[in-house]
Amino acid sequence: MYVCLCQGVTDGQIREAIYDGCCSYRDVRETLGVASQCGKCACLAKQVVRETLGDIQGSQAASRPGAFIAA
Ligand code: FES
10 burial type by CB count under 10 A (0-12 exposed, 13-18 middle, 19+ buried): middle
In a domain, 36, yes or no: yes
What's the pLDDT at 19?
Answer: 96
CATH number at residue 38: 1.10.10.1100
**Is-above-0.75 flag for pTM?**
yes
What's the pLDDT at 27?
Answer: 97
27 C-alpha to ligand 1 centroid (Å): 16
pLDDT at 60 over 80: yes
Tell me which residue has its CA closest to atom 1 in ligand 1.
Answer: 4
67 C-alpha to ligand 1 centroid (Å): 38
* Ligand 1 neighbours by CB, cut-off 6 Å: 4-7, 34-41
**Residue 67: pLDDT band with limits 50, 70, 90:** low
In a domain, 11, yes or no: yes
| DSSP secondary structure letter of residue 36 | S
Number of structural domains, the chain?
A: 1
Domain range for 35 = 2-57
In tens, the pLDDT along 2-51 reads 999 999 999 999 999 999 999 999 999 999 999 999 999 999 999 999 99
